[in-house]
Amino acid sequence: MTMQAVRPSARPMKPDLLGLSPDRLFVVVSRLVALTLIVVTLSILSPYFLTWSNLINVARHAAPLFLLSAGLTLVVLTGGIDLSVGSVLGLAACLAASLITGGSLVLGIAAALGAGLACGIINGVLVAYAGVPSFIATYGMLWIANGLAYVFMQGEVIYGLPAEFRVIGAGFVGPIPVPVLIMVVTLIALHVLSHRTPLGRGIYAIGGSPVAARLSGMPVQRRLMFVYAVSGLMASFAALVVVARTNAADVSLGEEQLLPALAAVCLGGTSLFGGVGGVAGTAVGALILALVLNGMNLLGIGTFWQAGVLGFIILASVFADQIVGGRIGRAGGTTQ
């Protein structure tokens, strides 16, 4: 039997100086244009939008949303999904608040991060080694983490955290909020990891074709374990920032976090089919989403309508993803 080389139907698209194909560059530019239009529109509709206090509020809201969405982005890049990030955030927040108000600052932070990491590792084992679909595995973890939080809290609300802890959520370095600095550092670290290391290139390869990645000798299972572990860890890290900012924690803290996190990932241009996108786009998506939610609050739009807007954003982003994905496929190239 002779093997015949497969010839691509078209020449792969040539990346530009940013490492993006023309199609991906179009996605990035379109998000930046959308961001500009939102700012201009809201500044016209509300006289309070461009005030310094409101812009600081937007930045503070975008930072923990990005932290939660960043780990989820890595999972989505592999073609998977992590539905447990909101519940893991809630569990980590309850553990941290309980132990920190009890006088154990270091133990509270360690317990929160450890819980998030453990949940992520369990998700990774189920998906990578047990072969459980990511939707099922992480949906089960959603309920497990949520149930553990309810058992641990017993209906209580914890508030009044120490000032030294609250710095990470409510502090400033000059005029810049500490959560924004944390977001920038995290963005740089994850962007370098995903675009400048063999591990990151492997994540994109798995999302593009897990079978091809496995046949090429790539440790696919370990890569999957890594992204789910990072997703759980980032959810618990976001929990620390949220608790420090709000100065309180209860079991409902993470219940409404999943939909905004998914919306930020989709809005940032990361394909739900895997292999395309990145954390830089998610940062833009988180900022756009924070602006949209802030604008709806300023304009007096009700909570139920806000949830509908988030759903519409997800559908529109997925639809745009399919259009761009079809163009990439017809061009015969893959992009990051």
**The predicted structure's pLDDT at residue 235:** 97
State how far the Cα of 72 lies from the Cα of 74, in Å rounded to an integer: 5
**The predicted structure's pLDDT at residue 12:** 38
Question: Which burial class, exposed, middle or buried, applies to 44 when counting CB atoms under 10 A from its CB (0-12, 13-18, 19+)?
Answer: exposed
Q: Indicate whether 269 pLDDT > 70.
A: yes
State the average pLDDT over residues 86-102.
95
Query: How many CB atoms sit inside 10 A of residue 192's CB?
Result: 12
Query: How many CB atoms sit inside 10 A of residue 102's CB?
Result: 11
Hey, what are 6's tokens? 């497969």
Residue 249 contacts residue 96 (beta carbons within 8 Å): yes
State the average pLDDT over residues 136-158.
94
**The predicted structure's pLDDT at residue 166:** 95
In this structure, what DSSP letter does residue 14 have?
Answer: P
State how far the Cα of 67 lies from the Cα of 64, in Å rounded to an integer: 5
Name the band, by pLDDT with cuts 50, 70 and 90, for residue 22: low
Hey, what are 223's tokens? 């890569």
Q: Indicate whether 71 pLDDT > 90.
A: yes
Q: Tokens 């990891």 identify what position?
A: 193
**The predicted structure's pLDDT at residue 336:** 45
Name the band, by pLDDT with cuts 50, 70 and 90, for residue 58: very high
Average pLDDT, the chain: 86
The candidate with the shortest Cα–Cα distance to 246, out of 174, 176, 168, is: 168
Residue 77 contacts residue 275 (beta carbons within 8 Å): yes
Range scoring the smallest mean pLDDT among 53-62, 105-114, 306-315: 306-315
**The predicted structure's pLDDT at residue 329:** 46
Residue 150 contacts residue 239 (beta carbons within 8 Å): no
State how far the Cα of 301 lies from the Cα of 2, in Å rounded to an integer: 66
Length of the chain: 336
State how far the Cα of 238 lies from the Cα of 232, in Å rounded to an integer: 10
**The predicted structure's pLDDT at residue 259:** 87
Q: Indicate whether 9 pLDDT > 50.
A: no
Q: Indicate whether 232 pLDDT > 50.
A: yes
Share of the chain above pLDDT 70, in %: 87
Q: Indicate whether 10 pLDDT > 50.
A: no
**The predicted structure's pLDDT at residue 134:** 96
Residue 324 contacts residue 275 (beta carbons within 8 Å): no
Dihedral sign, Cα of residue 139, residue 143, residue 149, residue 152: negative
Can you list the alpha helix ranges (DSSP code H) found in the chain?
A: 22-45, 52-77, 85-101, 105-124, 134-153, 163-170, 178-196, 198-208, 210-215, 220-246, 258-267, 279-298, 303-331
State the average pLDDT over residues 136-160.
93
Name the band, by pLDDT with cuts 50, 70 and 90, for residue 3: very low
State the average pLDDT over residues 139-165.
93
Q: Could you read off the pLDDT of 207-217 as tens digits, one per residue? A: 989 899 998 88
Q: Could you read off the pLDDT of 168-205 as tens digits, one per residue? A: 999 999 889 999 999 999 999 999 999 999 999 999 99
State how far the Cα of 212 lies from the Cα of 216, in Å rounded to an integer: 6
Share of the chain above pLDDT 90, in %: 58
The packing angle between helices 178-196 and 163-170, to 10°, is 60
42-46, 88-92, 273-277, 332-336 — which one is most confidently predicted on average? Answer: 88-92
Hey, what are 70's tokens? 């960043």
In this structure, what DSSP letter does residue 247 have?
Answer: T
More confident residue, 182 or 7: 182
Q: Tokens 């550092």 identify what position?
A: 185
